[in-house]
Amino acid sequence: MNIYQQIASNKRKTFFLIFGFLIFTIIFGYIISLFFDLGLIGLGIFLIIFGVVTYISYYNSDKVALALSHAKPAKKEHYPQLYSIVENLSIGLGQPMPKVYVIQDPGMNAFATGRDPQHSAVAATTGILQALNKQELEGVMAHELSHIRNYDIRVMSMVTILAGSIAIVSDFFLRSLIFSGGDNDRKSNGLMIIIAIAAAILAPLAATLIKLSVSRNREYLADASGALLTRYPDGLASALEKISKQPNLKNASHATAHLFIQNPFSSKKARNFFTNLYSTHPPAEERIKRLRAM
């Protein structure tokens, strides 16, 4: 599979995953709404609340991500190579140069954030700046700038909010069921009770799996897009080999783990089907293999 086929394939997968996620969310909300005899009104309330939360998160996600990661603005005179690479790659993409941040951490990692190319930022750890050569650092920054160009942060923000909303509604429903005592007439339908409880228990799990799947697909897409930008896939492949050996960060947060080029909580334990299923990122080995096949 060449670079263009990889990009097209990942875009299709992400579209279907997000479309399925939205349908899944609406169905889940409607089941819970029916249980409380609220019908379409209850579903409407759920969607309105979701819309408000999405709006607030949409305009503040970059600030939260940078704050949680303890990222500080990088001065051009202190990090000339990083600045030069980000500036040149931005010109190559024909998009505004993002703000540049540095994280004082010996771990090797980097991430991009922002709702669109006009409101974006990239951050790199001091560990990655010290360990990578110029071509490898270009590969990493091309990957991050591709996330911005492809609006990946916007997509992942939406998916994360959807998953969080489902978890909150599910928790609220199960708690109300426990404290209500089950005496209410609307709960007399045994089949409805079983369906609603099953949905409340399984929905957060399914939502999390879909979110992680979208995250992994966006990583493959950014790898391919970044390789297309630099015309040198081996630069990013070589960087991933180094990063995968030491991605862990001192101040990593699970809320922002999906943003990084490599999971900041990566373990050196052997990976299997289940660890891959619950990972925010594809296995580094698979990413490297795909890059070198390009």
Catalytic positions, written as ranges: 144
For residues 193 and 173, is the Cβ–Cβ distance under 8 A?
no
- C-alpha–C-alpha distance, residues 1 and 3, integer Å: 7
Q: What are the C-alpha distances in Å from 268 to residues 191, 240, 288?
A: 45, 14, 17
| DSSP states along the chain | --HHHHHHHHHHHHHHHHHHHHHHHHHHHHHHHHHTT-HHHHHHHHHHHHHHHHHHHHHHHHHHHHHHTTEEEPPTTT-HHHHHHHHHHHHHHTSPPPEEEEE--SS--EEEEEEETTEEEEEEEHHHHHH--HHHHHHHHHHHHHHHHTTHHHHHHHHHHHHHHHHHHHHHHHHHHHHHTT-SGGG--HHHHHHHHHHHHHHHHHHHHHHHHHHHHHHHHHHHHHHHHHT-HHHHHHHHHHHTTS---TT--TTTGGGBSS-TT---SPP-HHHHHT-SS--HHHHHHHHHH-
